[in-house]
Amino acid sequence: MPRRVLGELLGVGEKRVEQMEAGEARGKISVDSLQKAAAALDCELVIALVPRTPLEERVRRRRMELAREWIRTRMLHTMSLEDQRVACSDLPPSAIEEVERMFPDERLWEKP
């Protein structure tokens, strides 16, 4: 679409359309400008954050991370004081799963 036509749809001059295009190319265009352009073109503006890994996998990894840290700082420390050193990798999966239940979704992203 020629800049002149888009400018007419937006109610701005060609120079402003050129500035918007340059801003877009540099990744510096505002959401407001994009919304106006979308409306002028009878389009919906969709801005999305798409996880690189599935959300379920990220949540599972975070729970495991918290569980391992909890086990390392509490249980394993106490056991080592009793000269019963155990590594996280030595624990049965059921023990880690039990600790995972201690970290509901609303606590997952808190700093320990």
Using left for φ > 0, alpha for ψ between -120 and 50, and beta otherwise, residue 85 falls in beta
Q: What are phi and psi of 81, to 5 degrees?
A: -65, -30
pLDDT tens figures, 95-104? 767 766 777 6
Number of domains in the chain: 2
Task: Please state whether the predicted TM-score (pTM) of the whole model is above 0.75.
Answer: no
Residue 65 falls inside a structural domain: yes
Which pLDDT score, from 0 to 100, does residue 110 have? 73
Residue 46 falls inside a structural domain: no
Residue 112 falls inside a structural domain: no
Which two structure tokens, joined as six digits, stand for 20?
A: 């918007």
Residue 16 falls inside a structural domain: yes
Residue 66 falls inside a structural domain: yes
What is the full DSSP assignment across 59-86? Answer: HHHHHHHHHHHHIIIIIHHHHHHTT---
| Structural domain span for residue 10 | 3-40
Residue 75 falls inside a structural domain: yes
pLDDT tens figures, 38-66? 999 999 999 999 889 998 888 878 877 88
Residue 71 falls inside a structural domain: yes
Cα–Cα distance between 3 and 22 in angstroms, integer? 12
Residue 49 falls inside a structural domain: no
